[in-house]
DNA sequence: CAGATTATACAATCTAAATTGAACGTACGG
DNA sequence: CCGTACGTTCAATTTAGATTGTATAATCTG
């Protein structure tokens, strides 16, 4: 191809470097791959959509990482692809509605997880009764388990009540 | 000492095993050491306070891990020590107020982190102006950075507003 | 259809963090 | 004082998972 693309210097302004760094730290904090954060940070302050190769060059990461990271961000709908006619490269840009992203995270990750943990506590309460009936438990143990598990149920209910509030706020 | 303690079988009821497992999973999910979760799960359904050695025996982990985990849980005030007169072992039990624990986590981890991230965005906005003044930025880039950083500020404000609400709810 | 240029899949490697074993310090009981 | 039971510290190991290089598949160009 014409080497106009080769001219590209692939350097970032200080502001954008800071952004990449900040997102890296956040992801690290959340136990997510650093490279994913780098990519998001890069795209978040990009004036134009970027191709996989742009990302590789700007960040100095491998294409495999870039591909993995972008697909992950896509699956969270944190970024989206942009098509340029007559160009078979994929271009990426961040979605504009970050609040929406957070709401979705809340609903897709936290809420179902709260639900399944609620179910798990319920199962444990059932199992506890069975164990008691089979005489496998000391009374003291049965009592503690019952109390604590019930207090977990109440806590779970309170947490569930917070979700919709947060949802409206953000 | 008398070998009454040696009789101890160190086996857990199914219910308690499930609890240990569940806490392990949660910690894993949060990027915390699994062993820490195991310890908390063990103590959460324990009818009596447990010594370091009890923990080691019940869970089959090393003393070093147990020591590390308990101190970590202590520092979060998720568990507390219990002293038995005439026994130089430390005994541990979970605190009863889990809601309080969550509130504290919210205040000790999330809130300060939100604050410092707010400050960081502010710094970036200042840096951006400097870069612009020095003519180091294309107009398009300046504009995008300004927009996006400002939208981060707004988001940060909304999130900060949610914290006290959640605090009252839980 | 051959040749390029892209994105993905996968196994190998590399890194960071959790876990451990062993040495250490301390306090108690005889 | 010694010996013992306890908790902690720290270097070494193990493990999980992030990153990469290479091979593959797919899609366009000429």
In this model, does residue B9 exceed pLDDT 60?
Answer: yes
Q: Decide if A124 and B151 are in contact by the 8 Å CB cutoff.
A: no
Counting the structural domains of chain A, the total is 2
Pull the structure tokens for residue B167: 């605090």
Residues A147-156 have a mean pLDDT of: 96
Encode pLDDT of B26-62 as tens digits.
999 999 999 999 999 999 999 999 999 999 999 999 9
String of DSSP letters for chain A: --THHHH------HHHHHHHHHHHHHHHHHT--HHHHHHHHHHHT-SS-EEHHHHHHHHT--HHHHHHHHHHHHHTTSEEEE--TT--S-EEEE-S-HHHHHHHHIIIIIHHHHHHHHHHHHHHHHHHHHHHHTT-S-HHHHHHHHHHHHHHHHHHHHHHHHHHHHHHH-
| Residue where a domain stops, chosen among A70, A96, A122 | A96
Encode pLDDT of A101-125 as tens digits.
999 999 988 999 999 999 999 999 9
The separation, in Å, between residue A106 CA and nucleotide D21 C1' comes to 37
* One domain for residues A89 and A111: no
Encode pLDDT of B79-111 as tens digits.
999 999 999 999 999 999 999 999 999 998 899
Q: Nearest-CA residue to the C1' of D19? A: A65
Pull the structure tokens for residue B170: 């839980």
* One domain for residues A15 and A84: yes
The residue among A9, A12, A15 with the most chain B CBs within 10 A of its CB, best to mutate, is A15
What is the band of B2 on the pLDDT scale with cuts at 50, 70, 90? very low
* One domain for residues A106 and A164: yes
* One domain for residues B71 and B118: no
Residues B138-143 have a mean pLDDT of: 96
Average pLDDT, chain B: 93
* One domain for residues A61 and A110: no
In this model, does residue A8 exceed pLDDT 70?
Answer: no
The pLDDT of residue B4: 41
Average pLDDT, chain A: 93
Chain A residues 148-167 with CB within 8 Å of chain B:
148-149, 151-152, 155, 158-159, 161-162, 165-166
Q: Which residues of A touch B113 (CB under 8 A)?
A: 29
* One domain for residues B133 and B158: yes
Rounded Cα–Cα distance for residues A80 and A92 (Å): 6
The pLDDT of residue A109: 87
**Range ranked top by mean pLDDT from A81-85, A87-91, A126-130:** A126-130
* A9: CATH: 1.10.10.10
In this model, does residue B1 exceed pLDDT 60?
Answer: no
* One domain for residues B130 and B87: no
The separation, in Å, between residue A32 CA and nucleotide C7 C1' comes to 23
The pLDDT of residue B5: 42
The pLDDT of residue A4: 41
Encode pLDDT of A33-82 as tens digits.
999 999 999 999 999 999 999 999 999 999 999 999 999 999 999 999 99
What percent of chain A has a predicted confidence (pLDDT) above 70?
Answer: 95
Encode pLDDT of A119-145 as tens digits.
999 999 999 999 999 999 999 999 999
B28: Cβ contacts below 8 Å, ≥ 6 apart: B34, B37
């Amino acid at each position: 191809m014409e080497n106009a693309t080769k001219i590209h210097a692939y350097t970032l302004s200080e502001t954008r470097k800071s952004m990449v760094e900040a997102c890296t730290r956040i992801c690290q904090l959340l136990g997510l791959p650093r490279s994913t954060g780098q990519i998001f940070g890069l795209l978040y302050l990009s004036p134009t959509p970027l191709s996989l190769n742009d990302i590789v060059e700007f960040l100095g990461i491998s294409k495999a990482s870039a591909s993995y990271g972008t697909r992950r961000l896509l699956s969270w709908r944190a970024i989206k692809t942009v098509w340029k006619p007559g160009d078979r490269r994929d271009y990426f840009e961040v979605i504009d509605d970050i609040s929406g992203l957070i709401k979705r995270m809340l609903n897709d990750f936290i809420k179902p997880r709260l639900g399944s943990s609620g179910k798990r506590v319920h199962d444990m309460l059932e199992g506890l009764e069975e164990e008691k009936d089979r005489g496998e438990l000391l009374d003291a143990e049965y009592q503690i388990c019952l109390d604590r598990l019930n207090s977990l149920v109440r806590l779970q209910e309170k947490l569930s009540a917070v979700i919709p509030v947060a949802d409206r706020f953000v």
